């Protein structure tokens, strides 16, 4: 694509989708695009992404490669695959890598069903009460019964010889851990449930796990049938662990980016790493791709992520570079009274890391590529950080123009019920650059 007429046509289509309210994703169905396999934090909404990508799919050749450099659980990647695109995704969180690897695999459904029967049998025959993993806080996060149940599940999964199928099973075990551990599901930070609640609570983790697996198999079949009915090819997926701030681990060039970056450092926005900590304790490390010790502490993954650590010596240089590149950042920064500025060091460090990642990203994009970003503002110390406007400036600085924008309510996005991030955010922007 490239002619003025084609680009206008695409723009009109996007405007129509916007007018029809489709971007709000109000009718989101969690069985779509394998969305409910695991409730990863702040997932994008399949209905919204798919509507946009469908519009692109009529205009772009499907030989174009799509990338999500912050892929999380792979929602955007799956929406691209739904329309026949090949995809590349990377994330710094090894658990996101596992989720996306499983979701983008074109499984043989009969093989998944066979594996389900074998795993079920294995668990039924397993009477051992040995606990398979050990870490300092295991008794805080898991009752003895849960430790026995997840040990039986783990032994059964490790008996599965096919590595791709094991990944599928680890994901469903993780969803059983999310709902069956002593951690509250209402926040993404690790928080133990109240003692009285724990006293009352009884969870059948094995039953849950087996139900999740069965539902997972049927969701894969549903997704495969959907691609088949559309007469689309099943795209290839390359999924890797990667720190996008440092680079994109691909030799190829991409024509389409579809992504939602973090909106601030994980610690004060969404703790992707902490949410992943308990499942990662139980998954065989041999099936996890990650070069650092992701289980060092509950904070390690969040520390490695954008804005996860402040380099005090670099701060003033980072701030000056952002001022040079973004008028919106400059206005924001100078609107803060001098005595309060210290409080925004984390924010500056995050935006500087994100800006660096834009260098990695734009270096692997075709020169006429499209970028579909979903981004929200957030509030720190009562001030709104204008993430969306800053992103527009940083993209323009690199020579890409805003082609289309829309905002949507985020009621359907998986946000924790309680944290200072979601309370102050109720809409996000979809910004498309070209």
Ligand X SMILES: C[S@@+](CC[C@H](N)C(=O)[O-])C[C@H]1O[C@@H](n2cnc3c(N)ncnc32)[C@H](O)[C@@H]1O
Which residues make up the interface to ligand X (CB under 6 A)? 42-44, 68, 70-73, 75-76, 91-93, 96, 243-245, 259-262, 272, 305-306
In whole angstroms, how close is the CB of 100 to ligand X at the nearest point?
Answer: 9
Nearest to 258 by CA among 374, 98, 407: 374
Q: Which residues have C-beta within 8 Å of that of residue 300, sequence separation ≥ 6?
A: 273, 292, 293, 294
- Is the CB of 151 or the CB of 374 nearer to ligand X? 374
In whole angstroms, how close is the CB of 246 to ligand X at the nearest point?
Answer: 8
- Is the CB of 243 or the CB of 422 nearer to ligand X? 243
Q: How far apart are CA 156 and CA 152, in angstroms?
A: 6
In whole angstroms, how close is the CB of 250 to ligand X at the nearest point?
Answer: 13
- Is the CB of 13 or the CB of 103 nearer to ligand X? 103
Q: How far apart are CA 105 and CA 99, in angstroms?
A: 10
In whole angstroms, how close is the CB of 275 to ligand X at the nearest point?
Answer: 10
Query: CA 67, 69, 72: angle at the middle one, nearest 5?
Result: 105
| Pairing status of strand 365-375 against strand 427-433 | antiparallel
For residue 134, count other CB atoms closer than 10 A to its CB.
8
Q: How far apart are CA 345 and CA 220, in angstroms?
A: 44
- Is the CB of 147 or the CB of 347 nearer to ligand X? 347
Query: CA 99, 97, 25: angle at the middle one, nearest 5?
Result: 55
Query: What is the DSSP secondary-structure string of 49-118?
Result: HHHHHHHHHTTS-TTSEEEETT-TTSHHHHHHHHTT-EEEEEES-HHHHHHHHHHT----HHHHHHHHHH
- Is the CB of 55 or the CB of 78 nearer to ligand X? 78
Tokens 């989101």, located at residue: 28
In whole angstroms, how close is the CB of 165 to ligand X at the nearest point?
Answer: 23
The phi-psi region of residue 29 (left if phi > 0; otherwise alpha if psi is between -120 and 50; otherwise beta) is beta
In whole angstroms, how close is the CB of 125 to ligand X at the nearest point?
Answer: 37
Both tokens of 320, joined, read: 């000056």
- Is the CB of 341 or the CB of 423 nearer to ligand X? 423
Q: Which residues have C-beta within 8 Å of that of residue 332, sequence separation ≥ 6?
A: 383, 385, 386, 390
The gap from C-alpha 98 to its chain's centroid, in whole angstroms, comes to 11
- Is the CB of 42 or the CB of 157 nearer to ligand X? 42
- Is the CB of 22 or the CB of 43 nearer to ligand X? 43
Q: How far apart are CA 275 and CA 291, in angstroms?
A: 19
Q: How far apart are CA 204 and CA 232, in angstroms?
A: 40
In whole angstroms, how close is the CB of 410 to ligand X at the nearest point?
Answer: 11
In whole angstroms, how close is the CB of 209 to ligand X at the nearest point?
Answer: 23
- Is the CB of 259 or the CB of 412 nearer to ligand X? 259
- Is the CB of 208 or the CB of 244 nearer to ligand X? 244
In whole angstroms, how close is the CB of 336 to ligand X at the nearest point?
Answer: 25
Nearest to 255 by CA among 117, 62, 103: 62
In whole angstroms, how close is the CB of 307 to ligand X at the nearest point?
Answer: 8
């Amino acid at each position: 694509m490239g002619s003025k007429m084609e680009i206008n046509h695409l723009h009109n289509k996007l405007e129509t989708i916007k007018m029809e309210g489709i971007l709000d994703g109000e009718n989101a169905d969690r069985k779509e695009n394998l969305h409910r396999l695991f409730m990863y934090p702040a997932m994008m909404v399949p209905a919204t992404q798919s509507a946009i990508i469908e519009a692109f799919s009529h205009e772009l050749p499907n030989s174009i490669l799509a990338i999500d450099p912050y892929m999380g659980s792979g929602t955007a990647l799956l929406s691209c695959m739904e329309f026949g695109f090949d995809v590349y995704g990377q994330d710094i969180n090894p658990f996101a890598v596992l989720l996306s690897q499983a979701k983008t695999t074109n499984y043989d459904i009969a093989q998944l069903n066979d594996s389900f029967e074998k795993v079920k049998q294995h668990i039924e025959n397993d009477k051992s009460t040995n606990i398979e993993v050990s870490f300092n806080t295991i008794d805080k996060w898991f009752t003895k019964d849960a430790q026995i149940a997840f040990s039986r599940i783990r032994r059964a999964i490790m008996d599965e010889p096919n590595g791709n199928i094991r990944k599928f099973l680890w994901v469903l075990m993780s969803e059983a851990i999310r709902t069956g551990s002593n951690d509250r599901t209402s926040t993404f930070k690790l928080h133990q449930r109240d003692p009285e609640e724990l006293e009352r609570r009884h969870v059948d983790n094995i039953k849950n796990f087996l139900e999740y697996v069965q539902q997972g198999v049927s969701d894969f079949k549903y997704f495969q049938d959907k691609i088949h009915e559309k007469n689309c090819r099943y795209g290839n997926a390359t999924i890797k662990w990667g720190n996008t701030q440092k680079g994109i681990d691909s030799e190829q060039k991409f024509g389409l980016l579809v992504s939602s970056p973090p909106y601030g450092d994980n610690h004060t926005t969404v703790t992707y790493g902490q949410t992943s900590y308990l499942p990662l304790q139980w998954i065989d490390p041999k099936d996890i791709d990650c070069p650092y010790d992701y289980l060092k502490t509950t904070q390690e993954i969040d520390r490695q992520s954008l804005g996860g650590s402040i380099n005090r010596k670099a701060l003033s240089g980072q701030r000056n570079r952002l001022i040079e590149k973004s008028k919106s950042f400059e206005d924001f920064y100078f609107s803060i009274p001098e005595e309060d500025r210290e409080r925004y060091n984390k924010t500056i460090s995050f935006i500087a890391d994100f800006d660096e990642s834009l260098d990695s990203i734009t270096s692997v994009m075709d020169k006429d590529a499209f970028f579909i970003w979903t981004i929200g503002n957030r509030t720190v110390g009562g001030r709104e950080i204008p993430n969306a406007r800053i992103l527009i400036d940083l993209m323009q600085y690199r020579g890409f123009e805003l082609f289309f924008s829309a905002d949507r309510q985020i009621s359907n996005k998986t946000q924790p019920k309680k944290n200072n991030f979601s309370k102050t955010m109720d809409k996000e922007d979809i910004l498309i650059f070209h």
